[in-house]
């Protein structure tokens, strides 16, 4: 298969662009201003939940102006496909004690809510000064546990979405926009 054919095959999974790169950047700018207003000059620790939030983290950390440190955790709840396994597993933990920090969890999507429900409980037990959650996407129609992010940039319908960090079987994370996945 030629390179062009391979790329075309890959692009078949991109059914429809739902949120453009420009719309994402405009929303991030506003979210950064909101975070600045909430913390009012106090230092924060941004905690990104990998892998999905890695692109959002890179942009949101540059949109805030309060003193800022960053940290990473890895949690998995979906494996090789579009169905939730119903299991949230922390596969990589933070490298520091978060007591004394205003912690802001940076997530790409709240779907059933299980991942953030579990992670916020785990982090609250570690006694941060405060704990808030910012999510790029929210799919409230899929919620299985009662969870609400403090800052949510886009509410979306129940589409399987890819791009801007989100994957389907680990592919499409590099797209600069959010698209509906379809074959």
Catalytic residues: 111
Strand arrangement of the beta sheet that strand 130-138 belongs to: 84-92, 68-78, 44-50, 102-110, 130-138, 151-155
Residue 153 lies near ligand PRP (rule: CB under 6 A): no
Between 63 and 88, CB nearer to ligand PRP: 88
Residue 167 lies near ligand PRP (rule: CB under 6 A): yes
Q: What is the dihedral of CA 20, 172, 153, 97, to 10 degrees?
A: -150
Choose which of 103, 111, 138, 179 interacts with ligand PRP (CB under 6 A).
111
Buried residues in 31-44 as b, exposed as e (16+ CB within 10 A): bbeebeebbeeeeb
Between 38 and 53, CB nearer to ligand PRP: 53
The Cβ of residue 147 has, within 10 Å, a number of other Cβ atoms equal to: 19
Choose which of 21, 23, 63, 77 interacts with ligand PRP (CB under 6 A).
77
Between 78 and 154, CB nearer to ligand PRP: 78
Residue 163 lies near ligand PRP (rule: CB under 6 A): no
- Residues with Cβ within 8 Å of residue 158, at least 6 apart in sequence: 139, 141, 142
Choose which of 46, 73, 108, 133 interacts with ligand PRP (CB under 6 A).
108
Binding site for ligand PRP (CB under 6 A): 49, 51-52, 75-78, 84, 107-115, 167
């Amino acid at each position: 298969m030629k390179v062009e054919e391979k790329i075309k095959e890959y692009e078949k999974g991109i059914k429809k662009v739902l949120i453009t790169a420009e719309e994402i950047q405009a929303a991030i700018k506003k979210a950064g201003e909101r975070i600045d207003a909430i913390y009012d000059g106090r230092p924060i620790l941004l905690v990104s939940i990998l892998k999905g939030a890695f692109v959002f983290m890179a942009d949101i950390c540059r949109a805030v102006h309060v003193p800022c440190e960053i940290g990473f955790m890895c949690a998995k709840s979906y494996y090789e496909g579009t169905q939730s396994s119903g299991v949230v597993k922390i596969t990589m933990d933070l490298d520091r004690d978060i007591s004394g920090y205003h912690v802001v969890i940076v997530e790409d999507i709240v779907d059933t809510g299980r991942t953030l429900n579990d992670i916020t409980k785990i982090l609250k037990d570690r006694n941060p000064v405060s704990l808030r959650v910012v999510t790029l996407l929210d799919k409230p129609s899929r919620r299985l546990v009662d969870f609400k992010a403090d800052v949510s940039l886009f509410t979306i319908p129940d589409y399987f979405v890819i791009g801007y960090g989100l994957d389907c079987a680990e592919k499409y994370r590099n797209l600069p926009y959010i698209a509906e996945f379809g074959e």
